[in-house]
Structure 1
Amino acid sequence: MTATLAATTLGAAGSASDPGAGRPSGATPSPVPAPPRAGEVPDWADRVVAGMSLPRKVGQLFVTVVYGPRADSSHPGNREEHGLDTPEEVVRAFHPGGVIHFSWTDSLHHPRQIAELSNDLQRAALDSGAGLPLTIATDQEQGLVTRIGPPATVFAGNMAHGAARDPHLARRAAFVTGHELRAMGITQNFAPVGDVNVNPENPVIGVRSFGSDPELVARMTRAQVRGYQDTGAPSETVSAAVKHFPGHGDTTVDSHTALPVIEHTDSQWRRLDAPPFRAAISAGVDAVMTAHIRFPGLDDSGEPATLSRTLLTGLLREELGFDGVIVTDSLRMRGVRELHPDESVAVLALRAGADQLLMPPNLSEAVEEVVAAVRDGRLSVDAVDRSVARILRAKARRGVITDPLVRLSAVERVVGSPRNLREARRVTDPTVTLLRDDPGLLPLRRPPGRVLVTGWGTETCAELADRLRRRGSRVRTLPTGANPTEQDAARVAREAAGHDLVLVLTNAAWKEDRAGQRALARAPAEAGVPTMAVAVRDPYDAAHVERIGTWLTTYSHRPVAMESLVRVLFGEISPQGRLPVPVPDPQRPDTDRYPFGHGLSW
């Protein structure tokens, strides 16, 4: 079938019987549109769009959640949110352009299950009458935001990559993650994070960022875009989506719960926030995700960036020259819902210049409102056509049109393979950063006989303990949670007696509501027991507990980071990480306790 004939069939299948608002149409299934030859993607996409009905076009603009581990499994989440029982019913009813998976959607259990779900959702899309495969997305940023855990290969995350300072390693991490995602049928990864984390109190970005230096973040962002998109055949790659434009790095407010305001001037934005997005665009990134933030130095309208035509069309499209897919951050977040009714937000985002609408609170209402907006002139048909064409071009570039299904036999061979796990350790080894070692405890010349591992993270304490035991130490764990009590600290001080070494893990201990972590970290040192502390998230913790002479940071609590940490402790490798952010002195906020680039070695 030629592309033109396929487009004509699409139009017929999506005619008057197509409900647009989400009821099954009963339309005759269409075959997949004939895929374009090399160099024909733009014309192919335009021809397909020209043959589509309005409701079919509008469906392509949306990426929604579906619930359940199988396409044909009933799940109360689908009934509550969509009025249907199974994921495949949702896909057939709404003809969305894509779906997105999270752990809370009960969709991500193990690699083969994910691959089977992906294939069955693609079959539902292809048999639905639309004849177009889905974008299947998730947020596998690595590190803190990891939707799919072991046996998939898990990396330490962006700030750890920033500490290693090696774009090649960052690219290799993206390559491994992208190949594993695609083996499971996931075609778009909402990563990398291009935000420059210049605010240590940022509650939502932090270690998700590569660092505080715009050029460092730009180099790493460019490398990861290429790792996701440029390594391997199209059917082995995923679409990258750099986020969160125009930059979410300087805020103390979480856009999930409120609407942050970034106070950077235009010149500050160009110097601090823009370089990573420019780098991603120059690398050919398929998508840019918007931020639900006000940026009055760039647009004084008061609208969040997601709804700002000045920012999306004027700045991103016209000035930066981006012609890929502009995708909104989740439309369920409070940051985009404070100023307008939910049913208006999708239309406002499209009018601003967005193409892909992520997770509207009510998909049926959003679809109806967009269709109505086109019919009454609030949205132009031409603008919708351009957005759908961009979405289809991205699918074609990633081989989703030609290869929507994955081979189940390849899942176990690719996902979490020994080679990928070795690569994860090789990428992570240079990230561990030694901030201070005043007593000269490191490297450990021989395994300490008795070690107490305590502090944040039951699983992380256990992971670290397991690796110490493999090297000959007798280890006891005493995890104490995110904010231990005075009684917890006293118990750790008592238990520390008789141990040769205490390792205390901290996680965001710098925060005001985590003072218990700081007290607990001091307890064994004040009892006179040799103590080392490890910040397994933000490196800022070290400036808040001075009584401990040896501080390291891994930027991550993932098992691969604990392995690299132990390799440093025992002198198997030297610490090579350098701070990708400055650590301010809490007593003198304008002074750095540890400057950008600090890191000890031997």
Structure 2
Amino acid sequence: MPATRSSGPAGPSTWRATALVVSLFSAGCASIPAGADGYMSGNDAHVLELDPVAAAWIEETIAELDLRQRVAQLVFPWIPGGAISERSDEFARIRRWIEREEVGGLIVSRGQASEFAPMLNRLQLLASVPLLIVSDLETGPGMRLTGGTDMPPAMAFGAAGDEDLAYEAGRVTAVEARSVGIHMTLGPILDVNSNPLNPIINTRSFGEQGAAVGRLASAWIRGARDGGLQTVGKHFPGHGATELDSHDHLPTIKADLEQLNGIELVPFRAAVGSGLHGILVGHIAVPAIAGPTAPPASLSPDVVTGLLREQLGFDGLVFTDALNMGAIVNNYTVEEAAILALRAGVDVLLQPPDHGDVIDAIVDAVRSGRLDRQRVDEAVRRVLTAKAAASLHDGISVQALGWSAPASHEAVARRISGAGITLARDRARLVPIGPDVHRILQISYSSAGRRFVTGALNASLADSQREIETTQVGERTPAGEYQRLRERAKLADLVIVSASLVPRQSQGPLDLRGGISEFVEGVVAEGIPVLVISFGSPYLLDYFPSVDSYLLGWSGDRQAQRAIADALLGRSPIRGRLPVSLPPHHTVGDGIDRSEAQGAGTP
């Protein structure tokens, strides 16, 4: 039956949530039943089978909403995660968005996991229609929930090539997200990272082969669906072949129709058939679809309606990427962009600045005839359908009691970290580290503003009864320090150079800067064994083409460092394969196997 309504601050028909206390993780892990979101599986997986009560709630709710309230349901502002004091300006602002503007949902950022549920429950009680809560959980719940499980980036799954691990990662993410009141995640990434110079996708992608990306992403989607979490694939029709970051500029997909169909769109087709609930359309120009003066795909009827809706047959929820990004605000007013997005066929307007003005502008566009009211109603119906799929028509709130991520979830993350380790090159058989290696010089490279600390790796190596000398370098390290390190390298049995370059918004190209490349090439030229470990972007080998051994760990978090240490010390096997090519050095599928015992030992 429809959610209970009573009078309240938002008007005469304010929805009031019926509390359902869900105690997760206190004794194992309770998961949402498979199929709880009401979505089908198989080729028509994006089509909903709602029960009559849910379907009736959707129609009753639409009938109660006037034009401005309907438009507001399409707007999803950003809020911080965790606890927000009810006396703070921040809470007053969010309260105004919910009670006065009556927005349809929220995208939630980072905060303490234990504080999410109480905060979201309070906000739900303010809403005239239940809020759809969305969060970006690309690298697992820990990306937003402090205390949640951190997962490796997608490219580690590509290196492991294991659908079961991808499924488990999706399920773990779902269980933890749903336990705190998150209904939908903006993931997985469906971009095919075919351009090594891409500054913003990189390790966020499963790889450079469309079929492999689709296969692993589909497994992740199935896991998330079975855990009760709705998924939104991104960035349609593909951000992997671009050279610009859409947070700052408008990138262009230069591919023709044949390449789009054969590469970029392959994972999206697979994901739609695996139960994908929504698709986020990128701020990316696609001339092959929309012509030489192509607007951002998110504002293009040719892309959203012509390609996504009609050709791919997707009838689920469609999001814009964030409307505060440079690709939009540098070229349009936010109000104009929002109207164009809705005209193009988008349903949800994500993070528009000044969203009260945006709502007003859309209402004016409908009244003037510039935007068809039927288009608004169609979008509202999809938003409410997603809410019903999350059982919000039953007025459900959650409370996580004694919240902590279970050990079984951490074990999944550790397995993925270990399975993804890839030994691309080992000419001098430096891996695993042999018993004749007594002294190790371990150098960590940090990019400007991002200190990369290899404490977990260093501690594990030191525990192996070896003498470990550690140091940090970066793009501003003076030449004199590199000269000192050259002398120290001559005293070492092995030099390890660790670097972590990971895609972050607005940081520009993923380059190794300063004297690190010249230093490594010089040490190799002197015949000193050097092992380079990338804890991020795989495309670093161009900076060290002469290096003997190149190992990929994909992430610099503690779990990845410990997994790398176990592999270096022969405690665990290495079986990963490159999910991307490293031209001209290595191709997709390259990788050297090492068993647990080969050459390993303590000095």
| Class of the TM-score when normalised by the shorter of the 2 chains | 0.7 to 0.9
Q: Residues 330-367 of structure 1, C-alpha deviation per residue, up to 9 Å, x if partnerless?
A: 00111123432222111110110000000002111111
* Residue type at the aligned position of 2:51: G
Q: What value does the CA root-mean-square deviation take over the aligned residues? A: 2.8
Q: Which of the numbers 303, 327, 330 marks the counterpart of 1:335? A: 327
CA distance in 1, matches of 2:341, 2:347: 8
Whether the aligned pair in 2 keeps the contact of 1:439 and 1:550 (CA below 8 Å) is: yes
Residue aligned with 2:263, SS: helix
Q: Which of the numbers 82, 92, 108 marks the counterpart of 1:101? A: 108
Query: Displacement of 1:123 after TM fit?
Result: 2.2
Residue aligned with 2:403, SS: helix
Q: Which of the numbers 472, 481, 487 marks the counterpart of 1:479? A: 472
- Map 1:146-165 onto structure 2 (within 5 A): 147-148=143-144, 151-165=147-161
Q: Which residue of 2 aligns with 1:411?
A: 403
**CA distance change for structure 1 residues 483 and 548 in 2, over 3 Å: closer, same or farther?**
farther
- Map 1:135-534 onto structure 2 (within 5 A): 135-142=132-139, 147-148=143-144, 151-229=147-225, 231-232=226-227, 237-300=228-291, 301-402=293-394, 404-409=396-401, 411-412=403-404, 415=405, 417-446=406-435, 448-457=437-446, 458-481=451-474, 484-508=477-501, 514-522=513-521, 524-526=523-525, 529-534=528-533
Query: Displacement of 1:429 after TM fit?
Result: 1.3
**More displaced 10-residue stretch of structure 1: 35-44 or 503-512:** 35-44
CA distance in 2, matches of 1:72, 1:93: 19
Aligned residue pair count: 555
Query: Displacement of 1:526 after TM fit?
Result: 4.9
**CA distance change for structure 1 residues 521 and 364 in 2, over 3 Å: closer, same or farther?**
farther
Is the aligned partner of 1:61 residue 2:74?
yes
Query: Displacement of 1:207 after TM fit?
Result: 0.8
CA distance in 2, matches of 1:88, 1:448: 62
Residue aligned with 1:540, SS: coil
Q: Which residue of 1 aligns with 2:597?
A: none
Q: Residues 182-204 of structure 1, C-alpha deviation per residue, up to 9 Å, x if partnerless?
A: 22222221110000111110111
Whether the aligned pair in 1 keeps the contact of 2:81 and 2:144 (CA below 8 Å) is: no
* Residue type at the aligned position of 1:96: V
TM-score by structure 1 length?
Answer: 0.85
CA distance in 1, matches of 2:167, 2:324: 31
Q: Which residue of 2 aligns with 1:590?
A: none
Whether the aligned pair in 2 keeps the contact of 1:74 and 1:86 (CA below 8 Å) is: no
Q: Which residue of 2 aligns with 1:570?
A: 569
CA distance in 2, matches of 1:323, 1:447: 62
**More displaced 10-residue stretch of structure 1: 461-470 or 259-268:** 461-470
Whether the aligned pair in 2 keeps the contact of 1:139 and 1:190 (CA below 8 Å) is: yes
Whether the aligned pair in 2 keeps the contact of 1:488 and 1:520 (CA below 8 Å) is: no
Whether the aligned pair in 1 keeps the contact of 2:81 and 2:112 (CA below 8 Å) is: no
Residue aligned with 2:394, SS: coil
Query: Displacement of 1:140 after TM fit?
Result: 1.4
More helix by share: 1
Q: Which residue of 1 aligns with 2:42?
A: none
Residue aligned with 1:408, SS: coil
Whether the aligned pair in 1 keeps the contact of 2:113 and 2:145 (CA below 8 Å) is: no
**CA distance change for structure 1 residues 376 and 146 in 2, over 3 Å: closer, same or farther?**
farther
Query: Displacement of 1:85 after TM fit?
Result: 3.5
Residue aligned with 1:478, SS: strand
Q: Which residue of 1 aligns with 2:600?
A: none
Q: Residues 307-336 of structure 1, C-alpha deviation per residue, up to 9 Å, x if partnerless?
A: 001111111111111111000000011112
CA distance in 2, matches of 1:476, 1:137: 45
CA distance in 2, matches of 1:33, 1:298: 47
Q: Which residue of 2 aligns with 1:555?
A: 554
**CA distance change for structure 1 residues 403 and 453 in 2, over 3 Å: closer, same or farther?**
farther
CA distance in 1, matches of 2:466, 2:149: 27
CA distance in 2, matches of 1:501, 1:423: 32
Q: Residues 162-191 of structure 1, C-alpha deviation per residue, up to 9 Å, x if partnerless?
A: 011111111111111221122222222111
Whether the aligned pair in 2 keeps the contact of 1:62 and 1:359 (CA below 8 Å) is: yes
**CA distance change for structure 1 residues 482 and 393 in 2, over 3 Å: closer, same or farther?**
farther
CA distance in 1, matches of 2:182, 2:169: 17
Query: Displacement of 1:597 after TM fit?
Result: 0.6
Residue aligned with 1:583, SS: coil
* Residue type at the aligned position of 2:117: A
Residue aligned with 2:265, SS: helix
Q: Which residue of 2 aligns with 1:19?
A: none
Structure number with higher relative contact order (C-alpha < 8 Å, ≥ 6 residues apart): 2
CA distance in 1, matches of 2:481, 2:59: 64
Q: Which residue of 2 aligns with 1:87?
A: 94
Is the aligned partner of 1:39 residue 2:51?
yes
CA distance in 2, matches of 1:534, 1:31: 53
Query: Displacement of 1:447 after TM fit?
Result: 8.8
Q: Which runs of 5+ in 2 are unaligned?
A: 20-36, 39-48, 503-508, 595-603
Is the aligned partner of 1:134 residue 2:131?
yes
CA distance in 2, matches of 1:44, 1:272: 40
* Residue type at the aligned position of 2:14: P
CA distance in 2, matches of 1:117, 1:539: 39
* Residue type at the aligned position of 1:94: E
Query: Displacement of 1:400 after TM fit?
Result: 3.6
- Map 1:6-45 onto structure 2 (within 5 A): 27=12, 29-31=14-16, 39-40=51-52, 41-45=54-58
CA distance in 2, matches of 1:85, 1:598: 55
CA distance in 2, matches of 1:456, 1:358: 36
CA distance in 2, matches of 1:390, 1:480: 51
Query: Displacement of 1:26 after TM fit?
Result: 5.5
CA distance in 2, matches of 1:518, 1:42: 61
**CA distance change for structure 1 residues 325 and 38 in 2, over 3 Å: closer, same or farther?**
closer
Whether the aligned pair in 1 keeps the contact of 2:17 and 2:397 (CA below 8 Å) is: no
Q: Which of the numbers 124, 127, 141 marks the counterpart of 2:126? A: 124
Sequence identity (%): 31
**CA distance change for structure 1 residues 502 and 298 in 2, over 3 Å: closer, same or farther?**
same
CA distance in 2, matches of 1:402, 1:491: 67
